[in-house]
Chains A and B, each alone.
Chain A
Amino acid sequence: MSTINDVTVPDKSNIQGMILRGFTHPYSCHMVFKFKDQPGAKSFIKAIFPYVQSAESWGDEKPDLMLNIGLTCSGIAMVSNLNATDMKYFPWTFQKGPASGGSQQSLNDCGPSDPSKWAFGNTTQQVDCVVHTYAMSPQMLKQLVSIVSNAATAGGLTEYLPLDEGTKRLEEYALIPRNSIHFGYLDGIDQPKLGWTNPMDPSDLRNFLIGYPPSAFSPGPTLGDAGTFAKDGCYNAFRILLQDVELFDNFLSTNAENIAKTIGQTPKYAKEWLAAKLNGRWINGSPLELSPDEPDPKTSHSTKFGYAGDTSGMKCPFAAHSRVANPRDEKLSEQGPVPRLIRRGMAYGAPPLINSYKGERGLIGLFLCGSLPTQFELLYSWINTTNFSAVFPSQNGQDALIANRSMETADTSFTIPTDKGPVVIKDMPQFVVTRGTAYCLLPSLSTLKSLAE
């Protein structure tokens, strides 16, 4: 323990690495398991614990292979010595899981995203543990996956193979440029600046790490044996989102023809313009608020901007994905601070340019937070809600990129204000489908070690 700003802070060696830093290993695989019994679960944790990477600096010796471990509530109940009363101290949302009625009020996984169609995380495919493996080479990854897989077999665990009709693991496909997603956008530009400055600041670590009350989003549990178990941990909303790249590309091309006439530009420009209006940033990352007319390499990684001056959505539509998911200084009708998430996701499946690839492609989403309902689910409810913050009259539609269009009350239109009048797209397609979700706790290393004993 040490102190920062008069706050007693935990040792980084006790915190799982992905919480404090984004790993830059080019290869990763995310393995999803169900435990059979407590002895098997404990032997599994014991076997893979030596490979757990903490948040401590590795200096010049970057590990060739390493992993982090997440446990769901059912997994904790199985592998730990916490009794039924202890388990009640965990937050309700974590106890019940993402397929539950309460969580589905926010996630709204209906239609093609319905939990009954998930590859894992629903009532018939319970998840107890997710292991995130990282390596510097394909060979190293294969070696580590083999170690985890053998430990799972020895412990009697069931592994889910979520991709391609239950035949493949969730393996990262390193896209170029790094941190891009299959729709072509540069991703992961803006992360909360984690620190210990003000617990009411949504980026403060006390809003992500459990055990440091008070703070704006009150991570829990902080009481009882469950509080001890969870201290220095963080929740991970692990969510697999299939991206329909062909549908997305056709949507852009089809609408670009008409939009080009409206805005007096070429169809090529209109396609890039429409993609930028859906996201709030151009493909290269330039935010529309700073570069409204064209992408600019100088602004491609900019994070210093706001929406307060754009009250008509003329630069960035209100329903643009990045404006909904991170409204910054925008005036909201919602109370309270705007939540932030730590995003550690990556792409799976080959990029569209590789014609021979016939499998599915999408995003392996790791959304880290201290409170699943007040951070992750609140943002997701905004994404799915039509006109979530009803301050401005022209603020129509759901999140333009990832909202679920199958919701009964959804307004599936998308409005782009322009100085030549609004461009209205009436029927937005479903670009993204949920393929599975698990709510995991990323326990401290001391807690993981205790499970292995």
Chain B
Amino acid sequence: MANPLTLYVPIKQDAISQAGAQLAYETFVKSVKTGLDASGIVHYARLALIPNASGQGTYAILLITAFDGPMNPYLSFFWTNPNTQKAFAGIAQVALNPPVPPVTDLTGFENFINENNLSQPADLYQAYPQTVKEIEAAFPHKTVLPKHK
């Protein structure tokens, strides 16, 4: 059974933070793919930018994922992976309210994620009960070789 994380972080309005959020959005999949692949527990993850009411600039970063098993025991895997650590630490850096404690170690990371998580397990609809590992085992990647006539 999967669990949800909906990380909602209002961000600062200065130009550097706004540009940082835009960069995080544009590079999100590329920057976290290796770490999330290696975890073997994340079904989907996406990052969205919530616009200001004026339509100009970004009000908040929204990260939405669904993953297998409990969240907190597995946060260390994302913190020890340099790419996912960089992505999350980057979000913390532009947060409107600086995280307490700062996101400089695993405790700070655990607290930041939980403090800004809007979802509970009961909030998630799931169409299937299989885990990522079970799905990957059922549909193994087939190596594609060059074709010869």
Q: Which positions in A face B, CB cutoff 8 Å?
A: 85, 88-93, 96, 101-103, 105-106, 213, 217-218, 220-224, 333, 335-336, 371, 373-374, 377-378, 381, 385, 390, 408-409
* Residue B51 at the chain A interface, CB threshold 8 Å: no
Chain A's nearest CB lies how many Å from the CB of B37? 11
Q: Is there contact, CB below 8 Å, between B70 and A381?
A: yes
Chain A residues, Cβ within 8 Å of B105? 213, 218, 220, 222-223
Chain B's nearest CB lies how many Å from the CB of A339? 9
CB interface residues, B 1-22, toward A, < 8 Å: 1, 3
User: A92-B115, A105-B121 known; A377 and B72 CB under 8 Å?
Assistant: yes
B60-95, CB under 8 A of A: which get 1 and which 0?
A: 000000000111111111011000000000000000
Interface size class of chain B, counting residues whose CB lies under 8 Å from the partner chain: 35 or more
How many cross-chain pairs have Cβ atoms below 8 Å apart between A and B?
96
Chain B residues, Cβ within 8 Å of A335? 38-40, 77
Chain B residues, Cβ within 8 Å of A106? 69-70, 72-73
Provide the bound-state CA to CA distance between A333 and B68, in Å.
13
Interface of B, secondary structure class, is helix
Chain B residues, Cβ within 8 Å of A224? 101
Q: Which residue of A has the minimal Cβ distance to B136?
A: A390
Provide the bound-state CA to CA distance between A333 and B69, in Å.
14
Chain B residues, Cβ within 8 Å of A88? 100-101, 111
Q: Is there contact, CB below 8 Å, between B104 and A92?
A: no
Q: Which residue of B has the minimal Cβ distance to A385?
A: B69
Chain B's nearest CB lies how many Å from the CB of A108? 9
Provide the bound-state CA to CA distance between A385 and B75, in Å.
18
Q: Is there contact, CB below 8 Å, between B70 and A105?
A: yes
Q: Which residue of A has the minimal Cβ distance to B69?
A: A381
Q: Is there contact, CB below 8 Å, between A91 and B121?
A: no
**Besides the known contacts A85-B100, A218-B107, A373-B70, 6 further A-B residue pairs in the complex with CB atoms under 8 A apart:** A88-B111, A213-B105, A221-B101, A336-B76, A381-B69, A381-B70
Pick the contact of B110: A85, A93, A222, A390 (CB < 8 A). Answer: A93
User: A85-B100, A89-B101, A390-B133 known; A220 and B70 CB under 8 Å?
Assistant: no
Q: Which residue of A has the minimal Cβ distance to B137?
A: A390
Pick the contact of A378: B1, B73, B100 (CB < 8 A). Answer: B73
Q: Which residue of A has the minimal Cβ distance to B77?
A: A335
Provide the bound-state CA to CA distance between A221 and B3, in Å.
26
* Residue B129 at the chain A interface, CB threshold 8 Å: yes
> Which of A85, A90, A217, A373 counts the most B-chain CB atoms under 10 A from its CB?
A373
Chain B residues, Cβ within 8 Å of A90? 107
Chain B's nearest CB lies how many Å from the CB of A367? 14
10 closest Cβ contacts across the A-B interface?
A220-B107, A105-B70, A378-B73, A373-B72, A218-B106, A106-B70, A92-B114, A390-B133, A89-B101, A374-B76
* Residue B143 at the chain A interface, CB threshold 8 Å: no
> Which of B105, B107, B129 counts the most A-chain CB atoms under 10 A from its CB?
B107
Chain A's nearest CB lies how many Å from the CB of B73? 4
Chain B residues, Cβ within 8 Å of A385? 69
Chain A residues, Cβ within 8 Å of B131? 390
Provide the bound-state CA to CA distance between A224 and B100, in Å.
10
Chain A residues, Cβ within 8 Å of B1? 408-409
Chain A residues, Cβ within 8 Å of B38? 335
What would be 6 A-B contacts, judged by CB atoms less than 8 Å apart? A92-B111, A92-B115, A371-B76, A377-B72, A390-B134, A409-B129
